[in-house]
Chains A and B, each alone.
Chain A
Amino acid sequence: MSEERRYFSIPIDVKHGIIDLTHGSGGRATAQLIGQVFGRAFSNPILDEGHDGAFLPKIDGDPVVSCDAHVIRPLFFPGGDIGSLAIAGTVNDVAVCGAKPKYIAACFILEEGFPIQDVERIVNSMARTAREAGVMIVTGDTKVVEKGHGDGIYITTTGFGERYPGIRVSGRNARPGDKILISGTMGDHGMAIMSLREGLSFGTTIESDSAPLNDMVEAVVKACPNVHVLRDPTRGGLATTLNEIAYQSNVGIMLEESAIPVRPDVAQACEFLGLDPLYVANEGKLIVIVPEDEAEAALAAMKSAPHGENAAIVGTVTDTDKGYVQMTTLMGGVRMVDWLNADQLPRIC
């Protein structure tokens, strides 16, 4: 704190200040922004070294890396914001490689005029999510673009982790006879975002399910050494991710609609707009595909972990109609769960 007082005579006015081009110039203003806003929230021994990059300790296992860009609008929504999403999303991408996420690098592109109050809010949210996930934000970068050339804030995150020994998961590993599990209710995030559109309030606040799932992954790999596939369904929903897996593994998938949990308010909102919850985005859900004899253990592990109370076995991998996903509906009939070409569109009449 006293070092700051020496170099920056006036602290940043977080409450009323806005980002301007000086913050991106790399000079004193940049250093002050980074120190006072980012550094304060993210503080940890590696970051506090203050180098351009981060010195990471040696790791024993095989390294894993994953990255993501976050451009979501609106920036703040029920259940999260662009910051919490950025951390949880990358934590999950590393975790579903069958790895323990450890370090995050974060880049920020800020638009001239963006309120520093919002930067702080987002950065604090990232710090909270990082603490929940047990990861450290170890290095980063900040740029400022002229007004009109950005959307307030864009964030990219790169996550580093360590593979769990003996765990080999891949989208190509699904095998006929495997059971498919999901960790909870479908479509929460997409409908939370939809419900913020003007005039589309549904009389109930649907919250995004954005959450880090690395603890759940750890529980699953410990209980199921032969786990075949781990994935987190995001854009395009459960249906899109399962279609990718069916295609990559060259297997068929048969789902049981009655087993797939959907919150009643999400189901109602989807029905109102003519959307299928299976294609609506999630941000805090895990798909686990395991050999049949590990299914019960997987289910127990998921239910014991944070955010897994509604975990369920929802389908089976088959060797018929390879590359396609089908479903036994609530009515007992069978239909395809097709791979959509683009986004779902709301009903007209």
Chain B
Amino acid sequence: MKYVTEYRNSEQARGIAREIAAAADPAREYRFMEFCGGHTHVLARWGLTDLLPKNVRMIHGPGCPVCVLPIGRIDMAMEVAQKHGAILCTYADTLRVPASGGKSLFKAKAEGADIRMVYSPMDAVKLARENPDREVVFFAIGFETTTPPTAVALDVAKKTGLKNFSVLCSHVLTPAAMEHILLTAPRREGDAPFLDGLVGPAHVSVVIGSEPYAQFARKWKMPVVICGFEPLDMLYTILMLVRQVNEGRHEVENEFTRAVTPEGNRIAIDLMARVFRLRDTFAWRGLGSVPHSALALAPEYAGFDAEARFGLIEHVVPDNKACQCGAILRGEKEPFECKAFGKACTPARPIGACMVSSEGACAAYYSYGRLRK
């Protein structure tokens, strides 16, 4: 099975698009949120909305780890490198997010702070081993896809007694964010619900399984279909959602069966439970304070907590007034509806995080679709 080519078959895509058009009831609108930024990217990169009928609308969700990272926490990362002289290791996209005063980690790096891009937390562990006289801090961001690798790195650090390694933990949880979206969503005209269905994240679900979404399906009477990252995955998922809505079902279905199981990756889940503890609350960029939605280090691993080691304090920093990332992350506005989009805010000079990350809705619209306005 050639996963890359077989799930990009154009004839099959046309076939599924025809089925969606046939199944969609012309008398109503279907509004589905793709939670994950990677899925927003797939829609834009393949031009999939061209294949959907006008009454099937995709609403973009907050599943972009860089987009929801609070400015205050980027400031903490910068402080670690600039004030404490540590080597700050971070994923690529995080480098370009504008934090306080519009300054990014990338700019701080150009000014001399030792900030390095890594592909994985183990790169940071390796740096710590190779530089025993320097403090090395890994800026851990992301949903449940990136959390297990951080847990592995911490486990290795603990087992090998690595003294100069610590983690600035900003991991967040998908189910909590989904719950918050549904809880705070505005109603539509005629008191219709904000959303008719959810496209479940792909890689997050590989880790946590399909089970955790059952609560949404029940509580909110919301169809959920877990979807892979190929264009055929998305088209088929949308067809499955349309069918659920038409048939009055609200179940959790799994389109991404080749990688997602109901129970998920037990080893990863157990490891995360051991290494992390739940924070009472966390200030998400764009969503505001969300209870029980983020992770900190468990007491056993507290020695590796960069916040404690360097005495870092998180300040709440508001977004630029012109920035509409919050409304865009909640799916209430589209990128084109932000006055700054494409003018004051571009990938070269971003104001908000949605324009920075390749998974951000604004970046996806700008790069792939700004001629379509």
Question: Which of B14, B49, B358 is the one whose CB lies under 8 Å from A347?
Answer: B358
Residue-wise interface mask of B (95-125) relative to A, using a CB-CB cutoff of 8 A (1 in contact, 0 not): 0000000000000000000000001101000
Residue-wise interface mask of B (343-364) relative to A, using a CB-CB cutoff of 8 A (1 in contact, 0 not): 0000110000000011100000
Q: How far is the CB of A270 from chain B (nearest CB, A)?
A: 9
Residue-wise interface mask of A (38-64) relative to B, using a CB-CB cutoff of 8 A (1 in contact, 0 not): 000000000000000000000000000
Interface range for B: 35 or more
**B160 proximal to A (CB < 8 A):** no
**B66 proximal to A (CB < 8 A):** yes
Q: Which chain B residues lie closer than 8 Å to A349 at the CB level?
A: 38, 65, 142-143, 145-146, 203-204
**A330 proximal to B (CB < 8 A):** yes
**B258 proximal to A (CB < 8 A):** no
Q: How far is the CA of A301 from the CA of B66 in the complex (A)?
A: 48
Residues 1 to 35 of chain B near chain A (Cβ within 8 Å): 2, 4-5, 8, 10, 13-14
Identify the closest chain B residue to A348 (Cβ).
B91
Q: How far is the CA of A212 from the CA of B294 in the complex (A)?
A: 54
Most interface-central of A197, A268, A347 (chain B CB within 10 A): A347
Q: How far is the CA of A268 from the CA of B4 in the complex (A)?
A: 7
Question: Which of B5, B14, B47 is the one whose CB lies under 8 Å from A335?
Answer: B47
**B368 proximal to A (CB < 8 A):** yes
Residue-wise interface mask of B (34-62) relative to A, using a CB-CB cutoff of 8 A (1 in contact, 0 not): 00001000001111111100000000000
Pairwise interchain contact A345-B93, C-beta atoms closer than 8 A: yes
**B367 proximal to A (CB < 8 A):** yes
**A258 proximal to B (CB < 8 A):** yes
Question: Which of B48, B93, B120, B369 is the one whose CB lies under 8 Å from A331?
Answer: B48
Pairwise interchain contact A332-B142, C-beta atoms closer than 8 A: no
Query: Given the known A-B contacts A267-B4, A332-B10, A335-B47, are A348 and B66 also in contact in the complex, defined by CB atoms under 8 Å?
Result: yes
Q: How far is the CA of A90 from the CA of B51 in the complex (A)?
A: 45
Residues 19 to 40 of chain A near chain B (Cβ within 8 Å): none
Residues 118 to 155 of chain B near chain A (Cβ within 8 Å): 119-120, 122, 141-143, 145-146
Q: Which chain A residues lie closer than 8 Å to B267 at the CB level?
A: none
**A324 proximal to B (CB < 8 A):** yes
Identify the closest chain A residue to B120 (Cβ).
A199
Q: How far is the CB of B54 from chain A (nearest CB, A)?
A: 14
Pairwise interchain contact A264-B8, C-beta atoms closer than 8 A: no
Q: Which chain B residues lie closer than 8 Å to A158 at the CB level?
A: none
**A321 proximal to B (CB < 8 A):** yes
Q: How far is the CB of B335 from chain A (nearest CB, A)?
A: 14
Identify the closest chain B residue to A334 (Cβ).
B47
**A274 proximal to B (CB < 8 A):** yes
Identify the closest chain B residue to A200 (Cβ).
B119
Q: How far is the CA of A346 from the CA of B10 in the complex (A)?
A: 26
Pairwise interchain contact A326-B46, C-beta atoms closer than 8 A: no
Q: Which chain A residues lie closer than 8 Å to B2 at the CB level?
A: 264
Q: How far is the CA of A106 from the CA of B194 in the complex (A)?
A: 66
Question: Which of A274, A324, A333, A340 is the one whose CB lies under 8 Å from B46?
Answer: A333
Q: Which chain A residues lie closer than 8 Å to B249 at the CB level?
A: none
Query: Given the known A-B contacts A331-B13, A341-B348, A348-B93, are A336 and B369 also in contact in the complex, defined by CB atoms under 8 Å?
Result: yes
Q: Which chain B residues lie closer than 8 Å to A274 at the CB level?
A: 358
Pairwise interchain contact B38-A341, C-beta atoms closer than 8 A: no
Q: How far is the CA of A274 from the CA of B93 in the complex (A)?
A: 12
Identify the closest chain B residue to A258 (Cβ).
B10
Q: How far is the CA of A79 from the CA of B117 in the complex (A)?
A: 27
**A329 proximal to B (CB < 8 A):** yes
Q: How far is the CB of A244 from chain B (nearest CB, A)?
A: 16
Residues 314 to 333 of chain A near chain B (Cβ within 8 Å): 321, 324, 326, 328-333
Identify the closest chain A residue to B143 (Cβ).
A349
Q: Which chain A residues lie closer than 8 Å to B66 at the CB level?
A: 348
Q: How far is the CA of A346 from the CA of B92 in the complex (A)?
A: 7
**B277 proximal to A (CB < 8 A):** no
Q: How far is the CA of A10 from the CA of B188 in the complex (A)?
A: 89
Query: Given the known A-B contacts A331-B8, A331-B10, A341-B348, are A348 and B65 also in contact in the complex, defined by CB atoms under 8 Å?
Result: yes
**A4 proximal to B (CB < 8 A):** no
Q: Which chain A residues lie closer than 8 Å to B119 at the CB level?
A: 197, 199-200, 346
Query: Given the known A-B contacts A346-B119, A349-B65, are A336 and B371 also in contact in the complex, defined by CB atoms under 8 Å?
Result: yes
Pairwise interchain contact A333-B50, C-beta atoms closer than 8 A: yes
Identify the closest chain A residue to B144 (Cβ).
A349
Pairwise interchain contact A333-B93, C-beta atoms closer than 8 A: no
Query: Given the known A-B contacts A341-B347, A349-B142, A349-B143, are A264 and B5 also in contact in the complex, defined by CB atoms under 8 Å?
Result: yes
B-binding residues in A (CB < 8 A): 197, 199-200, 258, 264, 267-268, 271, 274, 276, 321, 324, 326, 328-336, 338, 340-341, 345-349
29 contacts between A and B (CB under 8 A): A258-B10, A268-B4, A329-B47, A330-B8, A330-B46, A331-B13, A331-B48, A332-B13, A332-B47, A332-B50, A333-B48, A333-B51, A334-B47, A335-B44, A335-B46, A335-B368, A335-B369, A336-B367, A336-B370, A338-B368, A347-B38, A348-B65, A348-B66, A348-B92, A348-B93, A348-B141, A349-B38, A349-B143, A349-B146
Additional A-B contact list (12), CB under 8 Å, known A268-B4, A276-B45, A321-B371? A199-B120, A199-B122, A274-B358, A329-B231, A331-B13, A331-B46, A338-B367, A341-B348, A346-B92, A348-B65, A348-B141, A349-B38
